[in-house]
């Protein structure tokens, strides 16, 4: 494990695995850490120097002032990590919530952002904007399942103190919108047994996600961008369409019958797409 200190004094844990062109990895969250994608993306280390890091307040990075748990600040942290490692520019692969970090990096540091790969992510987290399109993408049966689990959380868990079990119950309805095909769900569940992680930044990033809408800024990102998502990942189907329509230099790849964890559910298709887009 290595660390560097940001310009505002926060110690960030990072790891560089592999050799080749630098590619920064932005993990999902907020109850997640970079270790999960270290395992998922290991096959790419034969061709790229993958740069993993825990966001401020996550995993092995130190806690930070609550006011700095913002995606623009985390985008700046990523550029400071690039500078610390001595790279003139780098590509970024972002999954899920990490897309907000990657988009802010691309907006705020266009000169150093070589290429973006946005995997299962969205430029908008505002509930009133996303709700109806996501329910349409979800369909009636999965909508009913998600609503039932949401009601269970409200009745049985919402009033209880914070715990791992409460966090799992909170995520259960959302997981339905992202779930893999039945035959792959145990594989997905077993891949990341350490989740959810009780990160200091989690409640603050959850709130920030619900208020963030970058759609009107997407035209400011001009680097080549790959938007990749699974067709069963309802929110990211909606978000992916927003990204493709708003980014001026984007290409799209939709994986049929795949949910949110594309690296686990469809590794061959996913890594073929990433290698083809990132080059060597």
Distance of alpha carbon 206 from the chain centroid: 13
pTM for this entry: 0.94
- Does residue 152 lie within any of the structural domains? no
Q: Where are the alpha helices (DSSP H) in the chain?
A: 35-40, 71-85, 98-108, 127-138, 140-156, 164-178, 185-191, 202-211, 234-246, 262-265, 267-278
Q: Is 156 exposed, middle or buried (0-12, 13-18, 19+ CB in 10 A)?
A: exposed
> 84 lies in a domain?
yes
CA 175 to mean position of chain CA atoms: 14
- 17 close to 52: Cβ distance less than 8 angstroms: yes
Domain assignment present for residue 182? The answer is: no
pLDDT of 237: 97
State pLDDT tens for residues 154-169: 998 989 998 888 888 8
Task: List pLDDT tens digits, range 82-118.
Answer: 999 999 999 999 999 999 999 999 999 999 999 999 9
With H, G, I as helix, E, B as strand and everything else as coil, classify residue 229: strand
CA distance 25 to 78: 10
Number of domains in the chain: 1
CA distance 104 to 53: 16
**Within a domain: residue 53?**
yes
Contact in structure between 221 and 116 (CB atoms under 8 Å): yes
Buried b (16+ CB within 10 A) or exposed e, 118-149: bbbbbbbbeeeebeebbbebbeeebbebbeeb
Vertex 32 angle, CA 51 and 111, to 5°: 35
> For residue 89, is it within any domain?
yes
Domain around 47: 2-126+197-278
Domain CATH for 119? 3.40.50.1820
**Parallel, antiparallel or unpaired: strands 225-230 and 250-255:** parallel
Q: What pLDDT is attached to residue 128?
A: 94
């Amino acid at each position: 494990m290595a660390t560097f200190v940001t310009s505002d004094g926060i110690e960030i844990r990072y790891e560089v695995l592999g050799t080749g062109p630098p590619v920064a990895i932005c993990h999902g969250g907020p109850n997640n850490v970079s270790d999960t994608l270290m395992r998922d993306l290991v096959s790419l280390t034969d061709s790229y120097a993958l740069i993993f890091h825990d966001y401020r307040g996550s995993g092995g990075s130190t806690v930070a002032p609550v006011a700095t748990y913002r995606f623009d600040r985390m985008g700046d942290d990523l550029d400071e990590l690039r500078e610390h490692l001595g790279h003139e520019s780098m590509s970024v692969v972002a999954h899920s919530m990490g897309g907000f970090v990657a988009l802010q990096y691309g907006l705020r540091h266009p000169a150093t952002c070589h290429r973006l790969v946005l995997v299962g992510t969205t430029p908008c987290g505002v509930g009133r904007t996303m709700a109806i399109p996501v329910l349409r993408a979800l369909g009636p049966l999965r909508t009913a399942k998600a609503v039932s689990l949401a009601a269970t959380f409200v009745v049985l868990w919402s009033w209880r103190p914070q715990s791992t079990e409460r966090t799992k119950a909170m995520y259960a309805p959302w997981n339905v919108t992202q779930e893999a095909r039945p035959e792959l769900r145990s594989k997905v569940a077993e891949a990341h047994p350490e989740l959810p992680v009780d990160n200091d930044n989690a409640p603050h990033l959850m709130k920030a996600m619900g208020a963030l809408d970058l759609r009107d800024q997407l035209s400011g990102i001009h680097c080549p961008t790959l938007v990749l998502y699974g067709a069963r990942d309802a929110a990211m189907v909606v978000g992916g369409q927003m990204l493709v329509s708003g980014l001026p230099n984007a290409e799209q790849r939709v994986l049929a019958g795949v949910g949110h964890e594309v690296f686990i559910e469809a590794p061959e298709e996913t890594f073929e797409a990433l290698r083809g887009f990132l080059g060597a």
